Amino acid sequence: MTITGIIPARYGSTRFPGKPLAMIGNMTMIERVYRQAEKSTRLHSVFVATDDQRIFDTVKSFGGHAVMTSADHQTGTERCAEAVSFLPDNTDAVINIQGDEPFLEPSQIDKVAELLLNSEVEIATLIRHASGMEEVSNPNAVKAVMNQNGRAIYFSRLPIPYYKNEIPFEQRCYHIHVGIYGYKISTLKEIVNLKPATLELAESLEQLRWIENGYSIHAALTNENNRAVDTPEDLERLKENLRL
């Protein structure tokens, strides 16, 4: 199976404009993400999909692959779908790699790719165990509930499942969604044409649109807690912790 990694990257982030070009040590954020993705043993190639000439030129300057996409896309999924038109016809699947996780482990990309090798898998992602109730209560940490076959039943910003009886945290089953997606090409072309649905509008979670329309999302468990950068303050904390 031919799998390509795509890193959607836009300049105009509301909370952190120019985030892909922010420096982390001696590299921009987008280069750090790209270099991590290159280490995957399952990807045949890696591309940055952007709507900004500055990001495009930066990727080209360090020898990376980049494609220009529309500035009208609302989600990374939409940007990935347009980027597919630039890929070789024999591409079977793509993995949407978050452009704000500069220390994403290549093994996590490999786990998503391994899920995609299963003919029954339409969409693949990752989950991890929650670190504590503070994280579970944080609406920005999306919770996932899975069935016994590894398929997602629901995603929510609320703490789910709800435990009616008080039991220690260690006995509870809370999973946090890790925002990396793999899609079969045929599935990706279908889901970008779906309209926002009731559950997605309620929770502001794109993946609920797919579930509500009957698509299945398979998830693998990862032990890594990625350091996502949403704001300039996140970046400063990251650099301080890593002494960069």
Mean of per-residue pLDDT scores for the chain: 94
Helix (H, G, I), strand (E, B), or coil: what is residue 134?
helix
Does the pTM surpass 0.85? The reply is yes
Helix (H, G, I), strand (E, B), or coil: what is residue 159?
coil
Q: Could you please report the per-residue DSSP string of 66-98?
A: EEE--TT-SSHHHHHHHHGGGS-TT--EEEE--
Retrieve residue 230's tokens: 């949403």
- Looking at residue 92, its amino acid is D
CA 51 to chain centre: 18
- Looking at residue 161, its amino acid is P
Mean pLDDT of the 177-201 span: 96
CA distance 63 to 43: 17
DSSP-derived letter for residue 171 is G
pLDDT tens track for 9-51? 999 887 889 999 999 989 999 999 999 999 999 999 999 999 9
pLDDT tens track for 131-167? 999 999 999 899 999 999 999 999 999 999 999 999 9
Phi, psi of 6 (to 5 degrees): -120, 130
CA distance 65 to 80: 14
Q: Looking at residue 157, what is its pLDDT?
A: 97
Q: Could you please report the per-residue DSSP string of 182-241?
A: EEEHHHHHHHTTPPP-HHHHHHT-THHHHHHTT--EEEEE---------SHHHHHHHHHH
Beta pairing, strands 123-129 & 217-221: parallel
Q: Looking at residue 203, what is its pLDDT?
A: 98
Would you tell me how many other CB atoms lie within 10 Å of the CB of residue 23? 13
Q: Looking at residue 244, what is its pLDDT?
A: 64
pLDDT tens track for 200-214? 999 999 999 999 999
Indicate the helix (H) or strand (E) that contains 35: helix 29-38
Whether the predicted pLDDT of 230 surpasses 70: yes
Asked if residues 33 and 101 have their Cβ atoms less than 8 Å apart, the reply is yes
Asked if residues 40 and 114 have their Cβ atoms less than 8 Å apart, the reply is no
